[in-house]
Chains A and B, each alone.
Chain A
Amino acid sequence: MAEQLQVSPVSKSILNDKWDVVFSNLVVKTGLGFGAGVVASVLLFKRRAFPVWLGVGFGLGRGYAEGDAIFRSSAGLRNVKA
């Protein structure tokens, strides 16, 4: 059985890694909100624009909330088992 090495991020890059996680999470959540807004606009609101803006806003808000939680706690700091 191969020995498992515990690789933790170096102390210097802790904050930068958190920023990476926060930005990627923000992009994903914004994209999801945008997609949900587009689908709702096409299916329910006769291609009007406000559902798209509403979904993007929800995604941004959700990404901000999770990013805030990531910075305030150890969430998002991942220990990778190689």
Chain B
Amino acid sequence: MLRSRTVFNAAKRGLATFAGEPAAAPHPVRNFLVKFAAATSLFYVGGVALSVYNDQFEELFTDNVPLAEPLVDFYQSYRDGTLQTSKISLEELKLKFGELSNKVEQIPNAGATSMLAQTDPAASPKTKAAQVLEDSLVMLRLPQVPPVATLDTASAAAPSAANHLVDSVNEIVASVNAQSLLLPEDSYNAVTLAWGKLTAALQQLTADFDHDVAQQVARRYGEASVELEHAYDARLKAAEVEITQRFLDEFANFKAQLEKHSSEELACALQANEQALLAKQSNEVALLSIKQVEEFNKILSEKLDQERQGRLAKLEELNTSVANLTQVVDKVDVFVKKNEVLTRLTLLTTEIRDRLQSGDLTSVQLDDQLSELKTLSDILPGKPHKCCTKTPHLLDVLVAELDQLAAQQQILSNEQLYNRWSLLQDDLKTASLLPPNSGILGHLSAKFFSLFLFNKSGSSVENDMDSVIARVSENLRLANLENAVEEVVNLKGWPRVLCDEWVHEARKKLEVETLVDALDCEVRTL
């Protein structure tokens, strides 16, 4: 059953492909060759076409494909019109291979006296009449006329005209030859003879023409040379005259300029000599007047000496006595002035010291005393000038330091320093209980526990905060500021920070007191 089904299907397929005619026999080899040729042609045509427009492809194509380079060159030469095909014209072909029926075997040099070629009757069977006609006709072929040998010395127009004539004749000959005229033999001989005469006449004409041209050129050359020589002589004479005239003019100008320059130099020299002589004369006059004045002074001094020896003999002694008296008066003045200044300075230092040690509740202002002190220091005699010495005087240094420290400032009195210290005591007690880097709780605790501290008084040898406060208060009360400041400076931490301003003021007062003491000692040594 399976086999019957297969057969049925095969029959069905066969019926589907059967078109009523038997199928053509396949030709695989022929089809392959056709397709291969077409593909190869298409490949080469496409390659050549692309090579024309793309240089890179052309290089690739010609390097890798066989026969590609000649194909590309062939196409390019064809496109450029430089294809090396046969340029032989029809006439040349005829000359090369002869006429179809006639052939000229020999062409004589003297003219067109050619002979009929013997044709082979077996090779070209023709009719009898045509054979007779061909035997009586000769193809006319004329030789070219040789070009004219021109003279080298002739002008350029003469050879061109002669050659033009020869060329025109040759063109006519070429046109006659191109027509390939077939003439009877007698006409041919007549034409040939006439052509020979014409050629001889042309050669004779050319020779005569050359001779005439040479003669004409020689004659004109002689005439032109004579004229040129005359013209050269005339121009030479004219140029000589012109140059001579120009030289004379320039010589006259140079002579005039030279004379003018010489006269100017002479005038300048004369003027300079005149001025020198005038100056010399004035110098001599001045020298003479100076000598006269010296003589007059000499006479006058002699006269004065004579008078001095007489009536004014005691004048020198009087002058010496007056000079001594002046020196003594100056010394006394200096001494008195120095004593006065020193006395004022002593009083002033005492006044400053009293003001500093006073128990007033107001601050001390020392501006008036300082200005007076500066004035007294400046006018003190016997002191070297500031500009004449490198080491300054001690008095000046003290006054300057005092002025820098206390001028325009207020210095606290002892009472003020004591009151401020009393105000600081509570804060000092609180700060003495503060732990390091304490926060808000530490400050509250210190504030609270400071309420329970005991107060000390008098001089205590302990080193706790209460003892320090008591010692400082006692020293201040006894006006012993140095010890009080020393105690306060030795404090540490927050108590020292709180006392910083008080220490600054106390130190300033101590420095002023020290400077005043030094000033007093210096004044006493002067």
Contacts and interface: CB of A to CB of B under 8 A. Distances in A.
Given A12-B424, A12-B498, 17 more contacts: A11-B499, A12-B427, A12-B501, A12-B502, A14-B497, A15-B427, A15-B431, A15-B498, A16-B427, A18-B443, A22-B440, A64-B440, A68-B439, A68-B441, A71-B438, A71-B439, A71-B442
Tell me the dominant secondary structure on chain A's binding face.
helix
B430 A71 contact: no
Contact of B443 (A10, A11, A15, A64): A15
A75 B498 CA distance: 18
A62 B436 CA distance: 23
Interface in A12-41: 12, 14-16, 18-19, 22
Contacts of B442: 71
A72 B440 CA distance: 8
Interface of A: 10-12, 14-16, 18-19, 22, 64, 67-72
B440 A67 contact: yes
Chain A CB within 10 A, most for which of B431, B437, B439, B499: B439
Contacts of A14: 497-498
Interface string B440-478: 111100000000000000000000000000000000000
Given A12-B423, A71-B438, A19 B443 contact: yes
A10 B501 contact: yes
Nearest to A63: B440
Contacts of A12: 423-424, 427, 498, 501-502
A11 B500 contact: yes
Given A12-B423, A12-B424, A72 B498 contact: no
Nearest to B504: A11
A69 B442 CA distance: 12
B312 to A, nearest CB: 73
A72 B443 contact: no
Contacts of A70: 440
A24 to B, nearest CB: 13
B162 to A, nearest CB: 115
Contacts of A11: 497-502
Contacts of B501: 10-12
Contacts of B427: 12, 15-16
Interface in B478-526: 494, 497-502
Nearest to B434: A15
18 contacts: A10-B501, A11-B498, A11-B499, A11-B502, A12-B501, A15-B430, A15-B431, A15-B443, A15-B498, A16-B427, A19-B443, A67-B439, A68-B439, A68-B440, A69-B439, A70-B440, A72-B437, A72-B439
A15 B424 CA distance: 12
Contacts of A18: 443
A64 B442 CA distance: 12
Contacts of A71: 438-440, 442-443
A67 B443 CA distance: 11
Contacts of B498: 11-12, 14-15
Contacts of B423: 12
A10 B498 CA distance: 8
